[in-house]
Amino acid sequence: MAAKCSICFFSYGFNGLSEGNYGNDVDSWKKRVSLFLPSRRRLLPVCCKIQRRNLSSYNRRQGKKPPFERIRPSAKLQPNSDDEFDPEHSVPNNGDMEPSVNREKTFEDYVDARGDAEHTDEKNSGTQFASAIETNRDVMHADEQITDSPAQSAVAKASAINGVGAELLSSVQPDDLIGMIKNAERNILLLNQARVHALEDLHKILSEKETLKGEINNLEKRLAEADAQIKFASQEKVHAELLEDQLENLQNELINRGGSGKSELELYENRSKISNEGALLARDGHIHSLSKEVDSLRTENLALKYDIQALKSMLSNLKNTDKRIVTLENESSFLESSMKELESKLSVSQQESSNISTLKTECKDLWAKVENLQLLLDKATKQADQAILVLQQNQDLRKKVDKLEESLEAATIFKASSEKTQQYNELMQQKIKLLEERLQKSDEEIYSYVQLYQESIKEFRDTLNSLKEESKKRALDEPVDDMPWEFWSCLLLTIDGWVLENKILNSEAVPLREMVWKRDRRICDAYVICKEKTEDEVISTFLQLISSQASPGLHVIHIAAEMAPVAKVGGLGDVVTGLGKALQKKGHLVEIVLPKYDCMQYDRIRDLRVLDATVYSYFDGKLFQNKVWTGTVEGLPVYFIEPHHPSKFFWRGQYYGEQDDFKRFSFFSRAALELLLQVGKKPDIIHCHDWQTAFVAPLYWDLYFPKGLNSARICFTCHNFEYQGAAPASELASCGLDVQQLHRPDRMQDNSAHDRVNPIKGAIVFSNIVTTVSPTYAQEVRTAEGGKGLHSTLNFHSKKFMGILNGIDTDAWDPATDIFLKVQYTANDLQGKAENKAAMRRHLRLSSADDSQPLVGCITRLVPQKGVHLIRHAIYRTLEMGGQFVLLGSSPVPHIQREFKGIANQFQDHEHIRLILKYDESLSRYIYAASDMFIIPSIFEPCGLTQMIAMRYGSVPIVRKTGGLNDSVFDVDDDTIRYQYRNGFTFATPDEQGLNGALDRAFNLYNNDSETWQQLVQKNMNIDFSWRSSASQYEELYAKSVARARAATSRT
């Protein structure tokens, strides 16, 4: 137990050591041993695209300053001077470069100097620690003898190295070592107990939160019931008021009908007189008809009496209704009191929701205004109802007048016979005139009522619109005064936190801060709306508020050898397409220039056509024709250059790997610039990639800038410093460059082989912006081990060099829409992932007996950089731990390909292991979706995209901490990382022990805590690995470089 604890204790300080780090001499080994003294502090890894790691907490625990400052990966690198790069004056000569390199202090010298200064204070602790190292060496040596590992040669070398330092470490005291181990074990025990208590407190807080949510929901339901009862009572009251109005109208109608009855009685008397006179005239037949008419009038009067009795009964019913209304009002008052109680309880439970109270006050004001308008509308409707009643009465009068006119026509027969009849007729005509005048007046009154009603409706609408406009204007123009200052302070701190965590740019944060300072209602409303959404959705909503203030777009042209999906070998093609699409979405004009390979996927190119024009370019002292083709790939405009050269440069059936690659791509680089010149393009940025198009930078400044192609700044991105394309200096003359001027130490002369030229070095020297594909890799290549001979050049030009983490095309890599999968799925529905796992097992003839058996996936090129010896070890280790393993990939290295073919044949019919030694696009997506874990044990990795794609598809990554892997994957057990950013399992040393530790921890979590594992999978699927953030950083670099160039031009 003590031996195992000592290994864990001292592995804390052995980060990054490998077999190649020791060297063969004792002095270099002493320098490395000095790094493990107790006064030294282990450097923590730098932050990446997801988080800037905070070193301050560790420094406070140690109580000491770090021994040296590491370069921040996200720091904005400035140019070498305030002025813009000038190809003729700012290119360094050899004399300027060498003293600068010599003045730099190496890491080993610094450690020796610091070790000498602290030698007196740390003598005893150093002796104890050396003894611990010796003990650790013995234990590790014993363990490695027990296990049958293919790394026995490495163990032998480590033992030899330990033998060299045995004399230095022989004086160790075992008692001191055991005491240190016991202290470490006690500290670990205390930390575990504190972690358990913290988890228990967290569960209690979550349970209390759930109970509070339940109480709030019950209060909201009771409030809704009270509102419904109040609404019902108000409807009953309105109904009662309508009944009262109808009663009054009926009473008035009764009164009017009573008056008309008297007039009918008089009419009856007059008719009786006329009948008497008719009797005198012996008109018996006519009298008989008049008597029938009188009888009908009598029956009508009886009907009216019955109507009066019915109305009286209705009046009694209305009185009963009044009593019911009184009871309803009592109930309404009781409901109002209960409502007030509920409101008081609700106000107590929602003290933190201050915005709801403000909205209620505004809503009350609006309701008051609406009620006033409703009163006006009610008055207008009442007037309209009265007008309608008058109109009905007039219609009744018209009917009576018609009847009287009929009787008048009958009575005209008797005009000549009687003066009384004539007088009667004149009286009737006067009455008719009076009735017509009354009818006309009533019509005028009805029209006035209708017009008044229409005017009131119009006034209501105008008032409502004005209220809406006033509300909008107040919301936009007036500052929000009803929110506490704590709210604005918290919002301001949130924005600053996003900047520090690299989630938004500083240029995006400035207008957001200004909106907070002004207490702008738009950002307040946006925050309230997004309160329950994820942080990425909140950031997206905030950025939309300032999108209208975006600057005009730039014209960017990428000159590259690859572009996904038409011509893809590695990650370069994905970067060109993904970055181009992201910049295009930001409003920039993006164009691509590619060679026209014969092996491209032409079916992925839309609208491919050849231009009726020829571009001539110089090469080997001659002019050669080039056909230009155009088309669109993934929505991006692309120019394809087809050289008409006798060597058929791009008709070889493959992209790379030819003996004359240097000539092929130097020809293409010059032809691409010739195309831009002859077409007359004026780009703001020319972005070239890797050594294949690194020739663009010196060609641009030496040949094409004087010809008028002078509007652009050059940006160069190196995706892997392992491949530099160095060649004999004489071959540089083929594309027209001056060998004597460029074959110099400060320009393109290779730092290792002085008789060769290095295209990567030339691009670094001649470009305005130099980038690589991750912040950690940018630091690694500035060291002698990682720079592959270019570290001195990169350090000299460090002000224009930085690392930007790549992204992935989240539209192309989306499990919710991937057509290659059997079942599409999302983070909220992982059942589809399980179905894809079962389908892939059937497809590859793997065992499906245990659905919960973990499946480990690996998709890679089998080259030494990818850690092939660790991939081989992971296959056997996964099998030992009861898992399944699927490998997809091939090797361009013959002996590696033969080795893995042997392993594939060994497991050809195995139920848990399958090796597919080729690349298959559809199968790769299946593996991403089916695998539970994804292993990437790279020796070095500039960026890496497979870990991002794996997390996008819900596969948990197991990676080595290097390059872009270190910037995108954070260990779930690393307490120095915030919990929400922990997304995988990492190991530091590129050996089998480090890989075993990460695999063991991953299998343990998968098998023993399925709930936590599912949460980890869902969290990984929701991480934003899109190009949005990376494209914003490139956009900022482009804009600054162009602005400096324009400022320099304006000064001249």
Q: What is the pLDDT of residues 514-568, one digit of tens each?
A: 787 677 778 888 888 887 788 888 888 888 777 644 456 899 999 999 999 999 9
> pLDDT per residue over 682-691, tens digit each?
999 999 999 9
* Amino acid at the residue 165: G
- State the pLDDT at residue 93: 42
> pLDDT per residue over 752-792, tens digit each?
999 999 999 999 999 999 999 999 999 999 999 999 999 99
- State the pLDDT at residue 191: 81
Bridge-based pairing state of the strands 685-689 and 713-718: parallel
- Cβ contacts of residue 866 below 8 Å, gap of 6+? 860, 936, 937, 938, 939
- Token pair of 834 as six digits: 């399980």
97 vs 87: CA distance, rounded Å: 16
Percent of the chain with pLDDT over 70: 71
CA 1012, 1013, 1016, 1021 torsion: positive or negative?
negative
- State the pLDDT at residue 333: 72
Helix, strand, coil abundance in the chain, percent, nearest 5: 60, 10, 30
- State the pLDDT at residue 853: 94
Most confidently modeled range among 183-187, 199-203, 344-348, 1040-1044:
1040-1044
Is residue 394 over pLDDT 80? no
- State the pLDDT at residue 524: 83
Lowest mean pLDDT among 111-115, 367-371, 463-467, 593-597: 111-115
- State the pLDDT at residue 986: 97
Could you give the angle at the alpha carbon of 887 between the alpha carbons of 945 and 788, nearest 5°? 50
Lowest mean pLDDT among 455-469, 557-571, 721-735: 455-469
pLDDT averaged over every residue in the chain: 77
- Greater confidence (143 vs 377) lies with 377
Given pLDDT bands bounded at 50, 70 and 90, which one contains residue 876? Answer: very high
- State the pLDDT at residue 345: 67
Most confidently modeled range among 58-72, 357-371, 809-823:
809-823
Residue whose C-alpha is closest to residue 595's, from 634, 623, 556, 569:
569
- State the pLDDT at residue 463: 76
Residue 567 DSSP class: B
Given pLDDT bands bounded at 50, 70 and 90, which one contains residue 47? Answer: very low
- State the pLDDT at residue 1052: 65
The phi-psi region of residue 723 (left if phi > 0; otherwise alpha if psi is between -120 and 50; otherwise beta) is: beta
- Greater confidence (242 vs 962) lies with 962
758 vs 742: CA distance, rounded Å: 10
Is residue 137 over pLDDT 60? no
- State the pLDDT at residue 165: 45
Given pLDDT bands bounded at 50, 70 and 90, which one contains residue 380? Answer: confident
* Cβ atoms of 139 and 7 closer than 8 Å: yes
> pLDDT per residue over 853-866, tens digit each?
999 999 999 999 99
Bridge-based pairing state of the strands 913-916 and 884-888: parallel
Residue written as token pair 């106000």: 347
Lowest mean pLDDT among 45-59, 321-335, 456-470: 45-59
Residue whose C-alpha is closest to residue 1033's, from 701, 798, 803, 704:
803
CA 303, 306, 312, 314 torsion: positive or negative?
negative
769 vs 901: CA distance, rounded Å: 44
Is residue 163 over pLDDT 80? no
Is residue 794 over pLDDT 80? yes
> pLDDT per residue over 976-1007, tens digit each?
999 999 999 999 999 999 999 999 999 999 99
- State the pLDDT at residue 582: 93
Is residue 57 over pLDDT 60? no
| Residue 229 φ then ψ, to 5° | -65, -40
Rounded mean pLDDT of 281-299? 63
Is residue 719 over pLDDT 60? yes
* Amino acid at the residue 839: A
> pLDDT per residue over 71-124, tens digit each?
333 333 343 333 444 443 444 444 343 333 333 333 334 334 344 434 434 444
- Cβ contacts of residue 522 below 8 Å, gap of 6+? 476, 515, 545
800 vs 768: CA distance, rounded Å: 7
Most confidently modeled range among 313-317, 423-427, 490-494, 1022-1026:
1022-1026
pTM of the model: 0.53
- State the pLDDT at residue 452: 76
* Amino acid at the residue 454: Q
- State the pLDDT at residue 593: 97
- State the pLDDT at residue 160: 45
- State the pLDDT at residue 136: 44
Is residue 490 over pLDDT 80? no
> pLDDT per residue over 605-656, tens digit each?
998 999 888 899 999 999 999 999 999 999 899 999 999 999 999 999 999 9
Residue whose C-alpha is closest to residue 576's, from 820, 809, 827:
809
Is residue 356 over pLDDT 90? no
- State the pLDDT at residue 378: 79
Diameter over CA atoms, the chain: 165
- Token pair of 1033 as six digits: 């950083």
554 vs 587: CA distance, rounded Å: 8
* Cβ atoms of 492 and 516 closer than 8 Å: yes
Is residue 572 over pLDDT 50? yes
Most confidently modeled range among 254-268, 446-460, 573-587:
573-587
Tell how far CA 407 is from the center of its chain: 89
- Greater confidence (442 vs 564) lies with 564
- State the pLDDT at residue 291: 66
Tell me how crowded residue 315 is: count the other CB atoms within 10 A of its CB: 12
Is residue 158 over pLDDT 80? no
- State the pLDDT at residue 960: 96
Residue whose C-alpha is closest to residue 950's, from 1020, 872, 852, 849:
1020
Is residue 867 over pLDDT 90? yes
92 vs 746: CA distance, rounded Å: 6
* Cβ atoms of 250 and 313 closer than 8 Å: no
> pLDDT per residue over 908-949, tens digit each?
999 999 999 998 889 999 999 999 999 999 999 999 999 999
Inter-axis angle of helices 174-280 and 419-477, to 10 degrees?
A: 170
Is residue 501 over pLDDT 90? no
- State the pLDDT at residue 755: 94
Count of CA atoms in the C-beta half-sphere (13 A) of 955: 31
> pLDDT per residue over 223-232, tens digit each?
677 677 777 7
Given pLDDT bands bounded at 50, 70 and 90, which one contains residue 843? Answer: very high
646 vs 648: CA distance, rounded Å: 5
